[in-house]
Structure 1
Amino acid sequence: MKKLLSFFLIFYIFSISFAQLDREHWFAPMVDRTGNPNPYQKLYLSTNRTTPFPVTIYNNNVVIGTVTISKNNPQKFDVLRNYIITTLQTDLFTPTTKGLYVKADFPFYANLRFSVLNHAEIITSKGIPSTGKNFYAANAPITVSNGILNFMTSILATEDNTTVTISGYKPAVQFSNGTTGLTNPTMTFILNKGQSYIIDGIGNIAGNFDGFLGAKITADKAVNVTNGNFNGQYSGNVPLSSDILMDQSVPVEQLGTQFALVKGNGSIGTNMEGALVIATQDNTQIFLNNEGLPITTLNTGQYYVVPDSKYQLQGTSHYNLYIRTTKNAYVYQLLAGDALGGSEAATGGFNFIPALSCYLPKQIDEIGLINENFVHSNVNPAGILNIPTKLNLVTERGAVVTVNGAFPPASTGPFDITGLTQWVTYGIPNTTGTITVVSTKAITAGITAGSDAVGYGGFFAGFSTQPVILKSGGDCVPGIVLTVDPIIYETYQWYRNGILIPGATSASYTPTQSGNYTCSVTMGSCAPLVTAVYKVLNCVKLTNVTYNICENKVITPAFTTSTQTPVASTVAIVTAPTLGTATINTTSGVITYTPTNPAVAGTDTFVYTFCGNDLIFTDCETVTVTINIQPVTVTNTTLTSCNINGVGTFNLTTANVTNNTPVTKNYYTSLAAAQNGTTVGEILAPLTYTAPAGTIVYVLVKNPTGCKNIAEITLNLFPLAVITPANFGNQCDENLDGTVNVVLSDITPLILNNPTYFTNVRYYALLADANLGNANTLPNNWSYTVNTTIYIRVESPDGCAPVVQPINFTVGSRLPLITTTLVLDFCDDDLDGIKPVNLSQFISQFTSDPLVSVSYHMTLLDAQNDTAPISGAVNLTGTQTYFIRFEKTGFCPNVATIRINLKIPKKSDILFDKLICPKTTTTLDAGPGFTAYLWSTGATTPSISNLPAGNYWVELTFNGCVYKQFVNVSESVLPVITSIDINGTTVTIGVTGGVPPYEYSLDNNTWQSSNIFYNVQRGNHKIYVRDAQKCAVVEKTFVIINLINTITPNGDGHNDVIDYSSLMSKDNLEFRIFDRYGAELFRGSPSNNFRWDGKMKGRPVSTATYWYFISWTEFGNATTVKYTSWLLVKNRNDSLWDK
């Protein structure tokens, strides 16, 4: 039986294992040479699994999207063009990050559908078998020179540091990067996982027509390859028609020798239908249909195009082609997507053809939205999504076939294949939607699709399956379940270690012991296939143990169920303890647990593992150890009793020295006696033990485990209340009302040694009441007027006897002052009604003692009660009385009074600032009513005269106060004529400065308040202006010029221009002309002599009325003269004028 299994393994190694229904898919990128607009790229994803699962899409190892699919729920994913297609030369012949990787936990179908204007294609992923190390490049041979055609091949790496070498192309090849097959007969590059490399040659070079076809691609790690033309034309010299011809390749080890093709939608004789065969080994013979002789023999890398004449008619319009090679070869179908509308040559398709095998699946479940591929075309400029699609099926003869549960119409097949009796084909047109194909025998499925200028084809399924063992339920015995995937085979036989397992003949098997498992499967007449070995191990045995310890614990690992012997070197701590350490003896494997603090009770856990001595199927066990550390934990404590003559009586059993239970306790007078644990030194009457303060008793505590510990009991006496009346001195009459107010609770901490401990304190007027402790207590807020004796009673919080003692209260003396009343006067020297005064400056008039502290108050009551203090810095607003409280340690406080009178001075009501004419003098008069005068000039009279402009002051004495008053004498500024604005015969004068209002006179005539003069005659004039001070008159001359209001620029020498060149001698001359909308037509300048001929940019302006202004300043004068007027232009060349 072992020999038979070995044969199966050999067969497995060399068998074909294509599978489009897979867990991983790759799509290498492409270069687009068409330059057409309207690009679209979509991934179509579908599965036969009813339970939804996510599919993740990556670019350059980075997630770019996730979709969830399930049966009857296919999904589409829009792919950014930059991820999969480029038009940039800089992306070629260099590693890039373009390309897609699609992954899920369960098998699914994946295909890429893409288009540009008038062109579309589909790339069907072959899954994991599409990756390998040896390929031969394929593209449709180019039959017409055209710059939008090319050949291209791209390589996508699946691992880092992948070295790829390309060779075997012809010397005449000229790559788009400028190199040739002659200068660069090989090319080598290195790619990391997710990186890609695109090779390309333009189709307008004869050496590129087939020069790269059959080139060898070798990699040291698995890669994925896409090849073809973007675009291509293979039917002849057809320069105006092309299409995308592209598909995914597979490595040479996945090829076969028998191929069945169903013709596309092209017509026989157009060269649009055929097949491309590429040899991978020398002396490869090619046979077609039932022909007895090979049509050709190829060597490695050579190709042959099968003409459309070799298709065999079956039925009325169905054609088949059978190709057989003597060695494994690539076969790509060339087809037309649409023969209607005269654009057949523009609808080319290019798809890889898988070899026939009886291990093809019996169902293709499912292909989503099979007829979709959005594309814009000349006929459909808005775009079309649903492309007419024909479903092509190849199945074994006699198979019962259904599509979506229905039998195909008889007109669609089955059709014979000439030269191949065991296989038949179907051609089902107008297939739409999501498709599930089921057959009772092996079957493969592909499509032919096309519309207008678009054509493509591809096989969604049709690749032989290879059984693989998958696990579920667990990872080991018991619990693991092994299942062969896919579950499509007719017979199953399971083996353990190469030995047949009786009765294990279903798709799933549940192992009961460890071992190497395989499964042999068969289908029809095909030779058996055997899965790869799946190694099953026993699960790690999980056990739990518990130990109760006082100190260390030694543990020897041992299996609980396995017969294997533990290996010391395999013993390992999986989870370390937290309350101790677990140390392994590397020689014996023995574990010693040592608690970090054995005196502290607690529960610790740790986990260790070990394995047996079987080197192949090693048993292991993991043990969770629970350690209960159970020492006797004790706490030293204290017992306290009432102090009776320095001795107390104690119940030792009330001392809580441990929380452990159950325990026994014995009491001893010494530590040595407790350590010996004998009756010597033992206290036999622990309930009434008498001892002085500070005595220590020792307790021996034991638990049932045998652990023991010793605790100390310290014997103390409760405190006695100690009253010290001497600590209490005289009491002050704080508010100076003749009565001393006392808060008795404030007295307690002064005379009682531990007031926070003795909180039950009461005061009595009579000793008898104090001794009785009755309710005749004094109130807490108590007062007295003469020296008095009262009694304090202090209760023990511990139930011990109270303490009673007398307390004497006396009245203290006030702090002596020099005087208790002070009266002061202050002047409001700035007449603001406020005089700042600092009261602290008067303290020395009350006391010279530097140790006295003071506070200031607004009322006597506040000062007496020491409330509402104010700042010593006060603002007087009238006569005010303040009260000062004086305090000093050892004296009772005292209060003094300050009365401050605020006197008000007076200022002159007739003394104001004066404005005088330039270079004149004036008199300042303060007026009568003051007792003294002092001017800044030194004068002492009420008034001073002959004063020029300047700043002066006078000090005025009144009511015993002096007020300093300031006055300013300033010279008036003459007005300035700033502008003379002339509008026709109206003149407007602009003035600034001086003291308004102004008066105006024209030519020294009558003065007027208006600055406007009307009907001013032409000629020279003079304007006069004076201000309200009338200190002086200012004047300016001006001229009324002749304002031109009409020109007729007809070239007759009369009134052809408006000319103000005579004013060019003026300063700041400005001459501007505007239309009625405010647009400037002309600006005078020295270059045009301030003359305008009625033209703008050399063309006469229209006859109309315009307006203009002229302004200037006279030489040496800042006054601006401005004229504004209108101008009628009568232009006889204007059509409006003619009307």
Structure 2
Amino acid sequence: MRKIYSFLLVFFCFQFGFAQLDTEHWFAPMFQRSGSASDRQNLYFSTNRTIPFPVTIYHNNVQIGTVTISKGNPQKFTIPRQYIITRDNAQLFTPVSMGLEVRGAYPFFANLRFSTYNHAEILTSKGKSGLGTHFYAAMAPIVARHNLFNFMASVMATENNTQVTVSGYSRDVLFSNGNTGANTPTLTFTLQKGQSYIIEGNGMFAQNQNGIIGAKIISDKPVAVTNGNFNGQYATDTNSSDILMDQSVPTEHLGKTFAVVKGNGTIGSNMETPIIIATVDGTQVFVNDEVTPIATLNEGEFFLIPENKYIPHANGHHNLYISTTQNVYVYQLLSGSTASLLSAATGGFNFIPALSCYLPKAIDEVGMIQENEIVTNNNPAGLLNVPTRLNIVTETGAVVQLNGAALPANSGPYPMVGNPNWVTYSVPNVTGNIVVNSTKAVTAGIIAGSDAVGYGGYFAGFNTQPRIVVTGTCFPNAFISVVSGPYDGYQWLLNGNPIPGANQITYTPTVPGYYSVEVTNGTCEPKVSDVVKIEKCMVNSTSVLDVCKEVTIVPALSSASIPQALNVNSVAVTVPPTRGTVSIQPATGEITYTANANAIGGTDTFTYSFCGNHPDFPECETVTVTIRLQNFSAQNQTLTSCLVNGQATYDLTTAVVTAATGVTYGYYPTLIDAQNENPATRIANPMAYVITNPTSVFVVVKNVFGCKEIAEIQLQIVPGPVVQDYNGSYCSATIGGAVLLDLGTLTNQIVTNPANYQVRYYANLADANAGNNNTLPNPFIFAITTTIYIRVDAQNGCPPVIKPVVLNVPQSVPLQSIFVNKTVCDDNEDGIKEVNLDAYISSFTNQAGVTATYFTDLNDAMNNVNPISNPVTVNGIDTFFVRFSSHGFCPSVGTITIAVQAAKFSANLQDVEICANQTTVLDVGEGFDAVLWSTGATTNSITVGVGTYTVTLTHRGCSVTQTVTVSAIPQPVITGIDINEKTVTIHVEGGTPPYQYSLNGVLWQDSHIFTNVPRGIYTVYVKDESGCGIVQAEFEIINLINAISPNYDGKNDEINYSEILKKENPVFKIFDRYGAQVFEGTPANRFTWNGKIAPNRHVHTDTYWYILEWTETNTLTPKRIKFSSWLLVKNVLGDVLEERNK
């Protein structure tokens, strides 16, 4: 069954003729068991396109790099090992984010060259031909047992939610996750785009020798498969091994005939053998010209062709022809080294494309063909350029060129025994960028190797079906091209039928349909490409409609290529209108446009799309509709007329109900008549329509597009003009000026409904009666009382009304003075004073009912603009203008000037300090008109003691009050007296230091410490620098006891300070030599101690320390008295008790 593809836009190149030269490539990951020292992995990119373009590399759907390539400018990109190769068992048998995807806008070659220490391989990407849904796993049999050997196959998804099933492997196979083919006969898993699944088994186990070869891999979406051994040994029981790996292709790209060129191994080494894997039961395998099948295989079975089947030719060239009765996989197992001792360690594994005269005729180009970064025993520093042999397979008689030159004579051609139509070539030691051209079908691959590595791979021939691409998106903007070949002949097909005359490499479709191409090449049977579906492009059309309010549109294809009806479900409004709305009738697909209520005239646009109902090729159209709104608006109007002899007559045509032009009018007495356009009631003479009572008529307005509006005309009957008698008073806007009277304002005051009449003013009655043009100007200007005349004419035949209008000009508010000067006193010597101007109105007028407004500018006062608030602030001398208003009078303006009189202060008065028992003289100085002290004195100076005094000073009529304070100089204060045995320390605060101290009031000292003071009662005297007096305090040197012997003999048995009971806050404490308190005096023990620390416990003999404190309150301020001394306690009882306790 043919596949059908629908293309939107495909980029193409005419040289895109071989499967590996493609726009996308996928590399599934690998699992290695060998060591990971000196790991290298690089992607190589090359193309035949001369214009540079980028190629982007992705891992896990995320871009990891970009290279820019062109013909002659290949590139390589180093891949992090973990993206493509793993040793982690946790990444087996589970979806993992591994593998690579590379994409470019134009076709290019891509291959992965990788190595680890002493091992290397190449994966030649098959492009999109490597993607499919049906594969069979391939790898080499494992004949040696080693933990570093394995088999593996990996599957990489190209789309999300890809379901994969793997089956058909041996029941005995042992997977590395512990499962077997018996307990897990089928592997199923789901992958997302960019994810991979790796299947792997250890080469240590005999059941893993070939148990998974031929396993079937089925997916529901395209996947890429990598399979082989990492590492493997298929020739001999030895630990020598190499990586055996290549990318697989799906079964639809397999074939039945193959040409294989032997690798570098010698016949007899068992290293040179192809492996055949069948995909259909009963497949017979033939080699060379043999007529007896060398093997018959069922689906999934494999066969190794013995190496002695290679046919030897000159120059050491060997080739092998293979043919089968059904499509099969052929992989070449080869040796990369010519040395027999190294052969087993240099194995290679590469997929062999089938022979076909539809193979390409050029391989252009493979870049840096000899490169692969390897590190081996003999090349510990690394080797980049690996000896490489180019093998070419082409049709007999073809002219072959390598990089534009003929092949060396010793490279071939070598015939294929069993198929005379094909020959092979071998070109050793190729390097750089390779281009192979042939006049016939050709494919080419490499065999490379060194002392420890071997590998090979083919670069073309994986898909021989002709391929076509569509340029453009749809008919008629598309053409189809064949991008494989070139071929000998072309025949384009429409819906499977030949198109007459369509036999070129390209074709431009003329109608929608299914297109394919049949090609011929050489002696091969014709081949037909996959079918591409060409649909008709969306048709864009326009429509212009004249619309009143609403229109209905029936969508229909304007130019259908294939007859079809409307698909009503496809109708959609893609761009809505801005001045209306559209609705779609679901049952019919009809579109109704309705203009908005306020959309009058002009245009509106909207766009709708729809498709036909053809099952395969529905045609679609987008229509842009331009709505020309021909509607118009009509407004109701009112006409008025006066009654004349009980009738009112109207000219209905004077009612302007619309601004539209090119319209007709019809007048009707009722709305129903207008709506029905009743000819029987249509008003025959609208220019002289007569009524007796107010009513309405209706006018129908229509244009040539049939748009219709109805307006109402109200017919009002008005009486004759009503004019009031008028006698008004006016004042000029400016003081003393003329009055400017707006006659229109006057009209609104005295004429009822003035808009219904013609109103004119005249200077005399004669002109008013005549109604001539001698009318008064507006505004009318007058300065004295004046009489004018008003004439009111009705426009509907009513008689005019003429009346006098009296305009009075009253006198101004009378002022007794228009200029006033005032003085105010300053109260704080700053020359500024707040003044209430209302206090001075009586200086201008005593008339009742007068209001005053204040201004700083005369013109403002005259014009009554920019008034100021009151009170005002006067700075020095300021002038203000007062506008006086009163009912029945015109305003008057007066001027007031206010000066701030500065107050005079005494500079002599200053606060002073004196001794408390002294006096001082306070003197204000000279220059005052009057002086008044708070003591009642009126002299300029007074003698006073300590206190606060005020004085009122008058100068030029302004008085000011000053305050002065006479304060006492503070005296010192004795705050404390400390007594330590015979040393007395006096503490003083306040007053005026320094201080002097005396114990008798005669002898004075500067020190506050007295020594060797005998016992007794003393008075200490203190005076300061001010000399204002002496302060004193009494203290007592008490008897300080320094020894007691509490043995109850009546002598010195206790220390007794009971006399401090009468003191304030007494303290008596005794401490041992360690600072521990042993006694505290209280009123209960009367501040007496008998050498005990408990009722029955005496202290032992020792020296103690005690303090005495109290507060003396018989002085001006309380003073704290402190004593301290030592105390020897000779306690015989305490010593005896202590001795007993020992």
TM (norm. structure 2) is 0.62
Please state how far the C-alpha of 1:644 moved relative to its aligned partner. 11
- Give yes or no for contact 1:819–1:845 (8 Å, CA) kept in 2: no
Q: How does 1:768-847 map to 2 (within 5 A)?
A: 784=783, 786-789=784-787, 806=805, 808-811=807-810, 814=813, 828=827, 833=830, 837=834, 839=836
- Give yes or no for contact 1:156–1:223 (8 Å, CA) kept in 2: yes
Distance 2:717 2:724 in 1: 21
What residue number does 1:529 align with?
527
1:227 aligns with 2:222: no
Please state how far the C-alpha of 1:397 moved relative to its aligned partner. 1.8
- Give yes or no for contact 2:748–2:754 (8 Å, CA) kept in 1: no
SS of 1:652's equivalent in the other structure is helix
Distance 1:843 1:905 in 2: 26
Segments of 5+ residues of structure 2 without an aligned counterpart are 3-16, 926-930, 974-990, 995-1023, 1029-1142
What residue number does 2:45 align with?
44
What residue number does 1:95 align with?
95
What residue number does 1:130 align with?
130
Question: Are residues 760 and 123 of structure 1, via their aligned partners in 2, closer, same or farther at CA, if it must alter by over 3 Å?
Answer: farther
What residue number does 1:987 align with?
none
Amino acid at match of 1:29: P
SS of 2:94's equivalent in the other structure is coil
Q: How does 1:596-615 map to 2 (within 5 A)?
A: none
Amino acid at match of 1:351: N
Distance 2:261 2:971 in 1: 117
Amino acid at match of 1:467: P
Please state how far the C-alpha of 1:394 moved relative to its aligned partner. 0.9
Distance 1:36 1:807 in 2: 124
What residue number does 1:488 align with?
486
Please state how far the C-alpha of 1:698 moved relative to its aligned partner. 5.2
Distance 1:885 1:341 in 2: 132
Amino acid at match of 1:27: F
Question: Are residues 654 and 323 of structure 1, via their aligned partners in 2, closer, same or farther at CA, if it must alter by over 3 Å?
Answer: same
Amino acid at match of 1:46: T
What residue number does 1:188 align with?
188
Residues 223-272 of structure 1, C-alpha deviations (whole Å, 9 max, x = no match): 22123456667787998x98765421123454445433334566778877
Question: Are residues 710 and 743 of structure 1, via their aligned partners in 2, closer, same or farther at CA, if it must alter by over 3 Å?
Answer: closer
Q: How does 1:259-298 map to 2 (within 5 A)?
A: 259-264=258-263, 275=274, 277-278=276-277
Q: How does 1:566-645 map to 2 (within 5 A)?
A: 573=571, 635-636=634-635
The range that moved more, 387-396 or 900-909, is 900-909
1:410 aligns with 2:416: no
Distance 1:454 1:853 in 2: 121
Distance 1:857 1:455 in 2: 113
- Give yes or no for contact 2:637–2:657 (8 Å, CA) kept in 1: no
SS of 1:316's equivalent in the other structure is helix
Distance 1:560 1:844 in 2: 95
- Give yes or no for contact 1:836–1:875 (8 Å, CA) kept in 2: yes
Residues 80-138 of structure 1, C-alpha deviations (whole Å, 9 max, x = no match): 76655567665544323333445678765444456678876543322334233443444
- Give yes or no for contact 2:648–2:690 (8 Å, CA) kept in 1: yes
Distance 1:19 1:68 in 2: 21
What residue number does 2:436 align with?
437
Residues 967-1005 of structure 1, C-alpha deviations (whole Å, 9 max, x = no match): 99999999xxxxxxxxxxxxxxxxxxx9999xxxxxxxx
What residue number does 1:198 align with?
198
Q: How does 1:252-263 map to 2 (within 5 A)?
A: 252=251, 254-263=253-262
SS of 2:410's equivalent in the other structure is helix
Amino acid at match of 1:367: E
Distance 1:30 1:972 in 2: 107
What residue number does 2:923 align with?
928
- Give yes or no for contact 2:553–2:591 (8 Å, CA) kept in 1: yes
What residue number does 2:161 align with?
161
Distance 1:22 1:232 in 2: 31
Please state how far the C-alpha of 1:581 moved relative to its aligned partner. 7.5
- Give yes or no for contact 2:132–2:224 (8 Å, CA) kept in 1: yes
1:729 aligns with 2:724: no
Residues 778-834 of structure 1, C-alpha deviations (whole Å, 9 max, x = no match): 8969673x5445678999999x999997551412554999999796755645x6x37
What residue number does 2:423 align with?
424
What residue number does 2:331 align with?
332
Distance 2:274 2:528 in 1: 34
Please state how far the C-alpha of 1:399 moved relative to its aligned partner. 1.9
What residue number does 1:1050 align with?
none
Distance 2:55 2:963 in 1: 98
SS of 1:391's equivalent in the other structure is strand
Distance 1:374 1:907 in 2: 113
Distance 1:808 1:471 in 2: 98
Amino acid at match of 1:44: F
- Give yes or no for contact 1:764–1:778 (8 Å, CA) kept in 2: no
Distance 1:341 1:760 in 2: 132
Residues 590-644 of structure 1, C-alpha deviations (whole Å, 9 max, x = no match): 97979789999989999797868xx977897979798999998673565979999
- Give yes or no for contact 2:743–2:778 (8 Å, CA) kept in 1: no
Question: Are residues 794 and 255 of structure 1, via their aligned partners in 2, closer, same or farther at CA, if it must alter by over 3 Å?
Answer: same
Question: Are residues 902 and 700 of structure 1, via their aligned partners in 2, closer, same or farther at CA, if it must alter by over 3 Å?
Answer: closer
- Give yes or no for contact 1:118–1:375 (8 Å, CA) kept in 2: no
Question: Are residues 709 and 511 of structure 1, via their aligned partners in 2, closer, same or farther at CA, if it must alter by over 3 Å?
Answer: same
The range that moved more, 354-363 or 204-213, is 204-213
Segments of 5+ residues of structure 1 without an aligned counterpart are 7-16, 947-951, 975-993, 998-1026, 1032-1139
Residues 345-383 of structure 1, C-alpha deviations (whole Å, 9 max, x = no match): 88765432223334323333x335353857486899999
Please state how far the C-alpha of 1:904 moved relative to its aligned partner. 3.5
What residue number does 1:1001 align with?
none
Distance 1:674 1:560 in 2: 41
Q: How does 1:1003-1018 map to 2 (within 5 A)?
A: none
Q: How does 1:892-931 map to 2 (within 5 A)?
A: 897=896, 899=898, 901=900, 903-904=902-903, 906=905, 911=910, 927-929=922-924, 931=931
Question: Are residues 702 and 903 of structure 1, via their aligned partners in 2, closer, same or farther at CA, if it must alter by over 3 Å?
Answer: closer
- Superposed CA RMSD: 6.8
Question: Are residues 616 and 209 of structure 1, via their aligned partners in 2, closer, same or farther at CA, if it must alter by over 3 Å?
Answer: closer
Please state how far the C-alpha of 1:837 moved relative to its aligned partner. 3.7
Distance 2:67 2:756 in 1: 79
SS of 2:258's equivalent in the other structure is strand
What residue number does 1:360 align with?
359
SS of 2:729's equivalent in the other structure is coil
Distance 1:634 1:852 in 2: 59
What residue number does 2:9 align with?
none
What residue number does 1:1015 align with?
none
Amino acid at match of 2:486: I
Q: How does 1:389-400 map to 2 (within 5 A)?
A: 389-400=388-399
Distance 1:179 1:850 in 2: 123
Amino acid at match of 1:371: I
Please state how far the C-alpha of 1:461 moved relative to its aligned partner. 0.6
Q: How many residue pairs are counted as aligned between the two chains?
A: 941
Amino acid at match of 1:425: T
Question: Are residues 782 and 666 of structure 1, via their aligned partners in 2, closer, same or farther at CA, if it must alter by over 3 Å?
Answer: closer
- Give yes or no for contact 1:743–1:781 (8 Å, CA) kept in 2: yes
Question: Are residues 533 and 755 of structure 1, via their aligned partners in 2, closer, same or farther at CA, if it must alter by over 3 Å?
Answer: same
The range that moved more, 459-468 or 717-726, is 717-726
What residue number does 1:28 align with?
28
Question: Are residues 926 and 573 of structure 1, via their aligned partners in 2, closer, same or farther at CA, if it must alter by over 3 Å?
Answer: farther
SS of 2:406's equivalent in the other structure is coil
What residue number does 1:988 align with?
none
Distance 2:458 2:228 in 1: 16
Distance 1:376 1:812 in 2: 124
What residue number does 1:1066 align with?
none
Match of 1:371 among 369, 372, 396: 369
Distance 2:918 2:142 in 1: 119
Distance 2:42 2:992 in 1: 87
